[in-house]
Structures are given as C-alpha cells and as structure tokens.
Chain A
Amino acid sequence: MARGAASEWPQWPVCWMAAGVLSTLCALALAAGVASIAPFPAGTRVMAALLVLTLAWPALAAWSLGTGRRMRSALMQGGLALCSGAVAAAGFLG
C-alpha cells in the first residue's frame, strides 16, 4: 500500500466521530444554551439559537476534519458540549 494511505484510513472513524457526532452534539448544546439563557426576549433566543446552530455546526465540523490534534479537539468539543448542556439545563430548570 502506498505511503500515506496506510496512515490515513485508520484515522477515519476517529475523524468522523469527531466531525459527525461530537460537532453535532456540541452545536446542539450551544444552541440549547443560547435558547435558555441568552439575554434576549424568548422569540429572539429561538432564532439566535437556530443561527448559532447553523453557523457553529459546520465550523466545528470543519475544525474536526482539518485538525491534526484530534484528541485535543475531541476533548474540547466534548467539554464545550457538556458545559453548554449544563448551562441550558440550569437555565431551563432555574
């Protein structure tokens, strides 16, 4: 097998796990956080959350696909998703 191909393919599951699943979770959690606690009227929060989702999701996916430091990006996205999810839950319940 040509050099490069051997090292490229095994990384795909990791890469797509970060770009597909983690970036989705992270963007959804960010949107939920915006919907819950952003300092706007409720209707504006819904629209702002959708716009954040529309823009943050592809940005995070592109970052996950391009970065060479996949573990670091995965941990950062995971952490961001957890924090945003916790903020969203606290905002909703509080």
Chain B
Amino acid sequence: MKQTQPLNLVRQALTAHGLAGVVFAALIYHVSLTGTLSVFAGELRQLEQPRAPTVGALSPETYAVAVIEGLRIAKGGEAPIILLGPTEPLPRLEIRVPGEGSYYADLEGRAAVAVETNFSDFVTELHEALHLPSPWGISLVAASGIALLALLISGILAHPQILRDAFKLRLGGSARTEQVDFHNRAGVWGLPFHLIVTVSGTFLALLPLLAAPLAFLAYDGDIDRAMAEQMGPQIDGTGARQPLPDIAALIRQVERENQPARVSFVMVENPLTDLQLIDTDVPRQLAAGESYRFDGAGRALGPAGFADGAAEKQVQAAMFPLHFGTFGGLPVRLVYGVLGAGLCWLCATGMRIWFLRQRQRGHARPRLEKLWLGIAWGQPLALAIAFAAAAWGVSPLLAYLAASLLLLIPPFTRLPDRSVRQAYGWGAPLCAIVGTAAFAL
C-alpha cells in the first residue's frame, strides 16, 4: 500500500499527539465543556431571570433615559456607564455601572430588576480565566488552546489517509479499534470547526496578554498611536465636569448614517467629562460590531474601523463571533453546541484510546483511569449541580468546587465504573431540570 506520508512522520506525530493529549486532556476537556455552555450564555441568562423585562428594538430616547438611570446608579461617581442593548439570544437592555451594580431596564429605559445571573457569569468566567487571577487564569486557557492546536496538527499529520478513511467505522471489533475509529471520524468531520474555535479562542486569550508588548515593538514604543490606530480615536479627558451631550441625537445620527445597522451598545467612559462610545451591530458582516466615538461635548471623532477599516481590525472584530458562534442566530449556535460537545467527546475518546493502549502494552494505569472517569463524567454533573445551586441562591463557584472534588471519590470506591458513569450521566440532566424548574418558580 502506498503511504502518502513517511511512516516515521506518522509515528512522531502519534507520539506528540499522545503526550500532549495525556498532559492537557483535563484542561482541554474543561475549557471545551465550559465553552460549549458559554455559547448559550444568552439563553442561560434568560433562564436564570425569566421574569426580567424583555425588550425589542429600542428608540434612541430609551437609551438616553437609560444613560440618565446609569448616572443615578453611579451616584455622581466617575465609573463608566455601560448599556448593553438587546440581542437575538438576550433581548434585554442592561444598564451596567461597574462597582455599583447592573440592572435590566424596562421598555422606557428605567432600571427595573437587578441583574442576578450568577451561573452564567460563573460559567463564562470559568471558560475565560478559570476564576483565577490575571494573568494566570487566562494564561492557562491560552496554554490549553496551544495544546489543542498541537493536538490538531499532530492528529492531521498522524493520519496519512485522512480523506480515504473519512467513512471508515469498524464496529464490533476490538474496543480500541472502535474507539480509534470514533475518535478519528469525529476529529476529521469536525476539523474545520475545531480549527476555527481553537485558533480564535487562543487568539482571544493571547490578545490581552501579548497585544500591548507586540504593539510596543510594532509602533516603536508609541503606545498612544497604537491605541488610536487599534482601538479607535482616543481623547484626553479635560477633567472639567460638563453636561452630558444629547445621547438620543448621537444615536439617531449613528443609525441614520449607518443604516440598517442598529445601536447595540452605548458606553459613557467617564460620565460628564470624557469619551462616549456608541457601538452598532454590523448586519451581513462577521465583525462583532462597529464603534463610533464622540467627545464629551458630543463632537464625532470617527469610527474605530472594525467593520470596514484595516484588515487587522476586521480580523480582530471577527474573532469573538467566530469563537462563540454569535454571527448566525440560533441555528449557528446549535451547530456550535453540537460540535462543541463533539470536541469534549473527542477528548474523552482520546483518553480512552490511550488507556486501552497502555493496558495492551502491559502498563495499565488504573488510578489515572479512575481519575479520568471522575473528571470526564463528573465535570458535566458538577456544572449541573452548580446550576441547581445557583437557583437556590448558593454560590455556583463554591458548589462547583465542592462537587468537583466530591465527584472524584466514587470512582475510587468499590462501585463498578459502569454504575458511576450511569449515576453521573443521569445526574447531570436531572440537576439541570431541577435548576431550571427552580429558576422558573
């Protein structure tokens, strides 16, 4: 049989694949699992507060009222006022004043209900930084992305007949052959998705860590120019208090000049003195949005260029939608959900293959197998327990940590592995149903 790649390369790629997989499996599995849940963060937020006001397309006057509400919440302080407009997955208007509080507003723009989406916030933070302080958490997430990319690269190189084997599935043979075929088919068919979410996710994790030093090099140390070119026009606040410009007029101007785009985000960076940002969505484009900037007096400073500026800005603006599937409505998010679950499964079958191979070589690792059982089947249950706990007002982080530790114990007892898998497998949807019912009530 003619090989398309040298056997030596295949062997080396398999070695790399196995080593990277074994060391990073738990982290990659964890980040993939929380990422899959984060795709549905909007729906989760609705589930957590089903009675919060739902709004449709908002008028500029509503945003203006919400900014005034933000000023009231800020109590005259200098915290930024952030308005998150309604989106397809989350049709709500949120008034956020960091350090002071977040509220969902009613149709008139008045703060109505305090935002209490503890589980959604917990899951997204777990995905982005593992609840660890910066830069450690985000560095670990970036490392998991690098490891996953290394696995994808070595997986492709280890598979010389990737197209010919695309439909190969040898069921009913040895357990290892079955697992290998499942692993390879899931890996190959999901490869475009895996590459897209891994490259975009790693990029998003590396961006806050390394963009500043790289910009320092690229702009010869001129950080002000780098900020203006990369983030859009900047201004130096005068420090003098001045009345807020007519926010409704600014929004009308932005929407009139950029039809059919709708404003989706408003930020008053430093109330009464400083920069105002008005972001719109960008219909029929991948970019997350365009940002229009005004100074404290309401003078237009120009767009940031995320929608039609330099290529690097468009690439940057496309990374978030690509990573979280926010560009095509619910159907795309459902596809992301299925393929994200597939990535978790790929991780689990990869470990299963490694354990079977170790057994066949006479190096069985029963303790590692038990530990992996506790992680692979325990983590979905731990997240579901955290969800149910959040519904009863318990901190999801504490519930998750306690559940994650406790769920590692049963695999090491005399209970058969099958019973543990069944208990964890049924427990997760049960806790999710209990949590959903509790939130609804």
Q: Which residues of A contact B267 (CB under 8 A)?
A: none
User: A62 contacts B16, CB within 8 Å?
Assistant: yes
Taken together as a complex, chains A and B put the C-alpha atoms of A66 and B17 apart, in Å, by 8
User: B313 contacts A43, CB within 8 Å?
Assistant: yes
A38-63 interface code vs B (CB 8 A; 1 in, 0 out) = 00011111111111011101110111
Chain B residues 275-293 with CB under 8 Å of chain A are none
A26 contacts partner chain B, Cβ-Cβ < 8 Å? no
A15 contacts partner chain B, Cβ-Cβ < 8 Å? yes
User: B207 contacts A50, CB within 8 Å?
Assistant: yes
Band of interface residues on A: 35 or more
Taken together as a complex, chains A and B put the C-alpha atoms of A61 and B143 apart, in Å, by 11
A81 contacts partner chain B, Cβ-Cβ < 8 Å? no
Rounded to whole Å, the gap between the CB of B209 and the closest CB of chain A is 10
Rounded to whole Å, the gap between the CB of A83 and the closest CB of chain B is 16
Chain B residues 141-164 with CB under 8 Å of chain A are 145-154, 157
The majority secondary structure among interface residues of chain A is helix
Chain B residues 282-330 with CB under 8 Å of chain A are 310-313, 315-316
- Given A44-B311, A46-B312, A66-B15: A58 and B147 within 8 A (CB)? yes
B211-230 interface code vs A (CB 8 A; 1 in, 0 out) = 10011011111000110011
Interface residue from B12, B15, B203, B310 paired with A43 (Cβ < 8 Å): B310
User: B214 contacts A50, CB within 8 Å?
Assistant: yes
User: B150 contacts A46, CB within 8 Å?
Assistant: no
Q: Which B residue sits closest to A1, measured CB to CB?
A: B363
Q: Which residues of B contact A5 (CB under 8 A)?
A: 363
B202 contacts partner chain A, Cβ-Cβ < 8 Å? yes
User: B312 contacts A47, CB within 8 Å?
Assistant: yes
Rounded to whole Å, the gap between the CB of B314 and the closest CB of chain A is 10
User: A49 contacts B214, CB within 8 Å?
Assistant: yes
Q: Which residues of B contact A54 (CB under 8 A)?
A: 145-146, 149, 199, 202-203, 206
Q: List residues of chain A with CB under 8 Å of any chain B CB.
A: 2, 4-5, 15-16, 19, 28, 31-32, 35-36, 41-51, 53-55, 57-59, 61-68, 88, 91-92
Pairs A–B under 8 Å by Cβ, sample size 6: A19-B20, A35-B215, A43-B226, A43-B312, A54-B149, A61-B16
Q: List residues of chain B with CB under 8 Å of any chain A CB.
A: 12-17, 19-20, 23, 145-154, 157, 199, 202-203, 206-207, 210-211, 214-215, 217-221, 225-226, 229-230, 310-313, 315-316, 361-363
